[in-house]
Amino acid sequence: MAEAPTNLNELFMHTLKDVYYAENQITKALPKMAAKATSAELRKGFETHLTETKQQIKRLEQVFKLCGEKPSGEKCPAIEGILEEGAELMSEIKPGETLDAAMIAAAQAVEHYEIARYGALVAWAKELGMTDARNLLRDTLGEEKDTDSKLNRLAEDKLNKKAA
């Protein structure tokens, strides 16, 4: 494990590595979730977010470059736990509406984690005077919030009712 951050710049870099690792893990989980989805709309949402996530990884790589660092991830127990919980649900719940509802909840747990991380990175980049990095991270933060809203609408308008 790397040394604990002692200043805001080190904390920024630590969290950047954390979210880079998380996004790469998410790209492995999304295809599995899409394959298990019963709802065509949910499957399409997972596939769309996979494309978006790959773009977000490219943005993170740009931020690393702006910071004069080589892109690298740092193992993140938080995202591993969230993804493990989602995988567990997918293996335990029979395919159908209930599984779709469970996967939306699991996906929203991922989105909320990402929103928290990107929100902090945006604020820290601003404090550190990293305008270009802040703008890139803010773009991703907006996408994560949009994805969470889409998942919420899909759950509330359709899939939770079907599961009930």
pLDDT tens string 49-65: 999 999 999 999 999 99
Q: What is the pLDDT of residue 65?
A: 97
Are the C-beta atoms of 53 and 27 separated by less than 8 Å? yes
25 vs 19: CA distance, rounded Å: 10
Q: What is the pLDDT of residue 4?
A: 87
Q: What is the pTM of this model?
A: 0.93
Count of CB atoms within 10 A of residue 120's CB? Answer: 16
Q: Report percent pLDDT > 70 for the chain.
A: 99
Q: What is the pLDDT of residue 3?
A: 79
Q: What is the pLDDT of residue 2?
A: 61
**Would you give per-residue pLDDT tens digits along the chain (164 residues)?**
567 889 999 999 999 999 999 999 999 999 999 999 999 999 999 999 999 999 999 999 999 999 999 999 999 999 999 999 999 999 999 988 999 999 999 999 999 999 999 999 999 999 999 999 999 999 999 999 999 999 999 988 888 888 88
User: To 10 degrees, what angle do helices 131-154 and 40-66 make?
Assistant: 170
- List CB contacts of 158: < 8 A, sequence separation 6 or more: 39, 41
Are the C-beta atoms of 20 and 133 separated by less than 8 Å? no
Domains of the chain: 8-65+78-163 (1.20.1260.10)
Q: What is the pLDDT of residue 162?
A: 83
